[in-house]
Structure 1
């Protein structure tokens, strides 16, 4: 076995330290975990500038190489430009490439032709999201196929995603590794007071304000009558957006919309002290926000689909429309015994399936297999499946 340290490059996120979302948080956790176990880690970080003066610039952060990559554009074009330059640079480096998401998979054949090993987290089934136009959905569909056949190994974060990928590649090519979280065992109440909230006297939703997240359904169902409690809807509202206007118009006086909140300690406190978490996502895999709700011991009211049913398990009450959503709200708010049972189930489900240590070890095992090194013994949450490369 070679004595040099194994190397991994992380592509597909805006970069770390995490400030943007689930993939960035995961990239940070995995990078720190592997660096602490002797890996050489590089993470590509997107830097939007008026004019490119230095395409690549390396910095060191907590023993991790941050590969600052300049792009002189914005929006989707900037993301594609960034993905291309990341693939081009990674092709010159002796390392396994972990690609998070497949939106820029059109560039992966270049990386593979350069002889690099590719491990791709396939994220959700993006082309099925109704919010995208037909051309955009076609782009995602094509990139999903390219990623599936260009990557040496695929990662699905949910059994339903693994089933879907089995229609693209043999099932043995995919490892099912969910998202992780950490327990929230206490939190201050000061962030609640700033919003006029009391511990245990509100429900919370944390999501993008989009139709496929059922935000309008949640707000309508809650607002049908006085509850004696509040609903906190965290997310960015944009003036002029028709759907956002509908949600605002549907909101009763007990609905609070403070916008998006990015301070981790504040969000953690709002989760911890909530009576329950409302999750309207209709598509996707293992949603990070839902996992975090389970780790906060939140009873869950979730849209009824295979993604949410598997993730929430016995911690969830499920709805399919505004009427069933209202019934779930009334049950959770009115039955203390039910709330306590769901709370305990959330704790159990989080420990069973979404432990960060096990998730990160599973990724390390997959990456090590691509370096032809001997993987460490597995520590897997229940239901996690990993097949050795064929």
Structure 2
């Protein structure tokens, strides 16, 4: 495969969560440019090289952190020796539903399992007799719940449970579907319900969230340090966290912070604003759980910031707006209020406001690109990338892996 073709790698990703809604994996979706890999002259070599490059050149393995990466494997790629270039400790080979359970396929899966790979079977909607032997080899069964009625899903789970496999519900789009799958014993979940949760109308901000939003409004209004200090003083919890963060090695300073005003000055307005934005999401967590939206929002904000820097090198204000657009775009899902209501009192400039409310302008285009990278529709991803002159697939993938790594570090710190 040519170097140009390698540059046309598209990396899509979809979050996979456990029963406590903790982010445990991503499904990684690879294609050669805007085409399906099957259209490439040498399909097997092209697909294998693209994926191998993703783990070596793009650093996906490091970006995944403690999460695993699920990778779709078709029949041709299943038999490629290049498959074994993948780091077996952090990937799950997801055997597509189009792969026939032939004796050769079964033997190949036995060899891969013996070599230390984790196998999953994709898009299961019924228990067909010819797949029984293959099912004994996989550790994870992905059930497509969309075409199944409630009764059909229950019947399928009853048949699968005796096999002792980990069940993953995919295409979970609603709270009702999530609750049903929990009751049926699914342990992993994937779908738009997590990436694009439905808004719970009428939910009010609690005291902590109100304080955070007020502080963000002051920062956006360019309030002086004294005003910020006065707003923080009635919030001892926030103050302690701010001082702890500013005094930490990770803040990049060796100074000992002695006052709130000093902490604000040392940390800087840009970092203070980001800290507050992330705290808004963290405040929505249930005790003892991890909110996947925190990592998704952090990843989206950082991705948009990196892409903005790529588009307009040296334009720090534009990059800051891109980061904030990404973070705030998921606030309705967390807080349960429309974005227009959330930002009404924040005094946002028109460019940022229009991007969030109407999806217009360069920031709106960046937001759509970030959303499509999370959705898994690679044709839409390519289309949205085409609206942003100056951004290449390679730059997008580099930014994605960097953003994932950055967000995972935040998750580990918390």
Q: TM-score under structure 2 normalisation?
A: 0.30
Higher relative contact order (CA 8 A, sep 6+): 2
TM-score (norm 1): 0.32
Structure 1 or 2: more helix by fraction: 2
- Pick the structure with more strand per residue: 1
